[in-house]
Amino acid sequence: MSSVTTEAYEVYRDSWGIPHLRASDPLRLAYAQGRVTAQDRAWQLEVERHRAQGSSASFLGADCVDWDRFARRARLDDTARRCHEALAADDPETAAWLRAYVDGVNDGLAEGAARDDRFARTGHSPAPWEPWVPLSVWIGTHILFAGFATKLWRERAGRALGDAAATLFATDAPGTAGSNGWLVPGDRTATGAAIIAGDPHRFIEDPGVYQQIRLSCPEYDVLGLAVPGVPGLAHFGHTGSAAWAITNAMADYQDLYVERLRPAADGEGLEALGPDGAWEPVARHTETITVAGAPDVEVEVLETARGPIVVDAADTGGSGSQDQTLSLRYPPRVRRDLGFAVLPALLRARTVADIDRALDCWAEPVNVVHAADSEGGLLHRVAGAVPLRDAANRLRPVPAWESRHAWQGWADTPAEPVQGFAVMANARGIASPLGVEFAPPHRADRIRELLSGSKDWSPQAMADVHGDTYLASAAPLLALLPALEGLSPAGRALRERLLAWDRHMAADSTDATVFSAFRAATVRRFAADPVFAGLAGAPAGPAVFHPWLYLLPRVGYALEGLLATGLLPDLDRVAHVRAALEETAAAAAPDTPWSEVHRLAPWQALPGPDAEDDWPGLGGDHDCVNATSSVPGFTDRFARASAARYVWDLADREASLWAVPLGADGVPGSPHHRDQLPHWARCALVPVVTDWSRLTKESA
């Protein structure tokens, strides 16, 4: 029986099915958020809960074993439990708020499961959540967010091409989550009040990774984008008088340590060589992964004083960096803190100063934040926990037995004044002291260029920025074309066509499709060059890291840099570009609009009967503001794009706008499961509604 009565809150819906919750106090409101989320998204909650616990294979099958093995080895759920124990001891008020949310989830799961046939299809029945599960979901969602697996790639590249080439492929990599965000002060808007807008870029999932919701009680009335399974509005919210939004800071705050292990002297267990030269005990136990339709899988879980072992040399057979045993050190496990005390504090924020104070306690992940309030306050800062340590730790796995690689405290998070307007798009900037690899500057530069074109911005006009398709990263490849000699007539004609192209990856552009084909041919030829032979083989080691370790995607995303680097003197770029141009010309493909080949391919834990063509085609590309990221050289279909779009108006909250890729309801076939998809696909936004009289109260 929950500690909060169900009669203590009201549920309203707008015309898009977005829940607006009203309760008599914050605890009852947290309960309502948990219960409504479970009713709307029970399947999603259960998938995320079991992925974080390393038990998703029990109902999703053998394809999930690799992830479950990683989740258990990395001790994600155990870390969440430890963080919750510390939270309950140090901040019982926030722990009670979190517990109210979990009570709501538990009271709503059965009803939510009954709405969704995926439970019957898999035979899965939800079990009650423990109070730390929201923290577990948060860790599971963000454990690969900082891209520590990139260190495995740098190690592999450094061994194959020399240490100087370790960062040769530095760019916004395939597994990295990026975002756009911009803050326009009141002196550049039509109303005289600030506007915050942007879009987080993540893998598009069905159901979506963000939930539009409103949370109202006498203490506060806040709307924004929640992470299903986590109370409050961590990333994007509008309190009426203040608003905030984040992007990935691209900070480096997770380390991999090379461990030397040996049998313990007493014959019991293992020991690891520590930084003081002494052999230290290794925690060791075995867990069992239950697999639907297949035998159980045993997993040995090891942990040194640095952290849990996530790569065991015994698993790999040795390839590149993965003939090493590697432990992962990440802040939540070290600090026993996820910063969850920030969540209720953000809901209570009335000013930029309130938001700033709250974010001083933020931990995971590390974000760049924009905030503004109705009194003219503005904020541009970094929030999160980044360890101080040797510079080598940021680049590659480092020896656990060398004391210089130990963590030495925590870095200060930078802030800077907003001058003109502030843009955050994962490029090198305010967070530069905290990271190694950042996104190319193209999205940030383009947003600045577009914002400079007006001084009377309105929320409606922001859709033009969201939807911009100019591809500045095409320039280095196209710049090689004029000097090419000995082209065939078809090659010369294609060259002229590409040079005349406006460089917009617009949905209806046939030139964009041709450019993508030419770029793909170039990427494949680069990847096949003998200079990269040492990186061409299939990666070894845990499969969960393979997206970071395949050569072709790495070349595709780093093509701009590879065209200019002096580190590869034997790479005949001109010959490859000429051959790719002729290959594309000889294919004589019919003119096809970009959106017909550049189609969405969302991730689904349990794929439904949808055909590929059921999902829309879009404009945009990896380095466009409308960042729809396919894998050049491999496919034009894309899975990563804007996981939500928002425009927060500080003059009038009801003038704000938002959209998600699918809809408010996570149940396939329901009226609001995909009703926002057509709007999202064309970068349109739907209105925010805050007038209770315009909402529909749900019946019992």
Q: Which of 97-101, 141-145, 557-561, 605-609 has the lowest mean pLDDT?
A: 605-609
What Rg value do the Cα atoms of the chain yield, rounded?
25
For the chain, the average pLDDT equals 93
Provide DSSP, 409-420: SBPPPPB----S
The single-letter DSSP state of residue 228 is: T
pLDDT for res 43: 97
Question: What's the CA gap between 36 and 107, in Å, rounded?
Answer: 10
pLDDT of residue 1: 40
Token pair, residue 179, equals: 């975002």
**SS3 at position 155:** helix
Beta sheet of 19-23, edge-to-edge order:
378-383, 367-373, 242-248, 236-238, 220-226, 211-217, 19-23, 9-13, 696-697
DSSP at 294? S
Dist. CA 3–CA 102, nearest whole Å:
10
Question: pLDDT tier at 356 (50, 70, 90 boundaries)?
Answer: very high
Q: Which residues lie closer than 8 Å to 569 by C-beta, 6 or more apart? A: none
- Measured CA to CA, the distance from residue 448 to residue 422 in angstroms comes to 8
Cβ atoms of residues 640 and 178 within 8 Å: no
Rounded distance between C-alpha atoms, residue 200 and residue 301, angstroms: 34
User: pLDDT-derived band of residue 168, with 50, 70 and 90 as boundaries?
Assistant: confident
Q: Is 342 helix (H, G, I), strand (E, B) or coil?
A: helix
Whole-number Å distance between alpha carbons of 555 and 618: 24
Q: Which amino acid is at 663?
A: G
pLDDT for res 167: 81
Confidence of residue 367 (pLDDT cuts 50, 70, 90): very high
Q: What is the pLDDT of residues 452-495, one digit of tens each?
A: 988 899 999 998 999 999 999 999 999 999 999 999 999 999 99
Query: 582 is written with which tokens?
Result: 């002729």
Report the pLDDT value the prediction gives residue 18, as an integer from 0 to 100: 98
Question: What's the pLDDT at 316?
Answer: 60
Q: Determine the Cα–Cα distance for residues 215 and 37; give it in Å rounded to an integer.
A: 12
Q: pLDDT band for 23, please (50, 70, 90 cuts).
A: very high
Q: Which amino acid is at 357?
A: R
Q: What is the mean pLDDT of residues 17-23?
A: 97
Q: Which pLDDT does position 174 carry in this prediction?
A: 40
What 3-state class would DSSP assign to 223? strand
Extract the runs of DSSP E, i.e. beta strands, from 65-146.
none
Q: Say how many C-beta atoms besides its own lie within 10 A of residue 666's C-beta.
A: 27
Mean pLDDT on 590-599: 95
Cα separations in angstroms, 598 against 506, 581, 641: 10, 21, 12
Cis peptide before 399, with omega less than 30 degrees from 0? no
Residue 319 pLDDT grade (very low, low, confident, very high; cuts 50, 70, 90): very low
Number of residues that this document lists for the chain: 700
Burial class (CB in 10 A: 0-12, 13-18, 19+), 214: buried
pLDDT confidence bin for 7, thresholds 50/70/90: low
3-state secondary structure 642-674: ECCEEEEECCCHHHCEEECCCCCCCCCCCCCCC
Q: Which long-range contacts (CB under 8 A, 24 or more apart) does 686-690 make?
A: 686/16, 686/657, 686/658, 686/659, 687/654, 687/656, 687/657, 688/223, 688/238, 688/653, 688/654, 688/655, 688/656, 688/657, 688/658, 689/14, 689/15, 689/20, 689/654, 690/214, 690/221, 690/223, 690/653, 690/654
> How high is the pLDDT of residue 34?
98
Quote the tokens at residue 531.
Answer: 């200079």
236-277 residue pLDDT tens:
999 999 999 999 999 999 999 999 999 998 878 999 999 988
What is the token pair recorded at 654? 């009801």
Say which residue the tokens 């710049």 belong to. Answer: 479
User: Does residue 172 register a pLDDT over 70?
Assistant: no
DSSP 265: T
**Tokens encoding 74:** 């990395």
**In the beta sheet, which residues pair with residue 181?**
198, 424
Say if CB 388 and CB 371 are below 8 A apart: no
Using the predicted structure, report yes or no on whether residue 227 has a pLDDT greater than 80.
yes
Which tens digit of pLDDT belongs to each residue from 62-119? 999 999 999 999 999 999 999 999 999 999 999 999 999 999 999 999 999 999 999 9
Tell me 376's DSSP state.
S
Q: What is the pLDDT of residue 607?
A: 83
Distance CA 221, CA 21 (A): 9
Angle at 639 between CA 638 and CA 640, to 5 degrees: 100
For the cut 60, the answer to whether the pLDDT of residue 691 exceeds it is yes
Contact status, residue 446 vs residue 178, Cβ threshold 8 Å:
no
What number is the average pLDDT over the span 437-441? 90
pLDDT tens per residue across span 371-416:
999 999 999 999 999 999 999 999 999 999 999 999 999 999 999 9
Write the DSSP symbol of residue 556.
H
State mean pLDDT over 512-535. Answer: 96
**What 3-state DSSP class applies to 683?**
coil
Confidence of residue 694 (pLDDT cuts 50, 70, 90): very high
User: Which of 559, 556, 682 has the alpha carbon at shortest distance from 630?
Assistant: 556
pLDDT in tens, 601-660: 999 999 877 766 789 999 999 999 999 999 999 999 999 999 999 999 999 999 999 999
> Can you give the pLDDT at residue 177?
54
pLDDT at residue 173 is higher than 50: no
DSSP 88-99: HHH-HHHHHHHH
Position 540 confidence tier, pLDDT thresholds 50, 70, 90 = confident
In this structure, the dihedral spanned by the alpha carbons of residues 542, 545, 548 and 553, taken in order and rounded to 10 degrees, is 70
Rounded Cα distance between 307 and 76, Å, is 12
Nearest to 329 by CA among 146, 174, 177: 146
Q: Is the pLDDT of residue 542 over 80?
A: yes
Residue 699 pLDDT grade (very low, low, confident, very high; cuts 50, 70, 90): low
Q: Could you tell me whether strands 398-399 and 255-258 are parallel, antiparallel, or unpaired per DSSP bridges?
A: parallel
Angle in degrees, CA 606, 681, 642, rounded to 5: 70
Q: What percent of the chain has pLDDT over 90?
A: 87
Question: What spatial distance separates the first Cα and last Cα of the chain, rounded to whole Å?
Answer: 19
DSSP string over 11-24: EEE-TT--EEEEES
Nearest to 346 by CA among 234, 181, 513, 261: 234
The pLDDT of residue 611 = 65
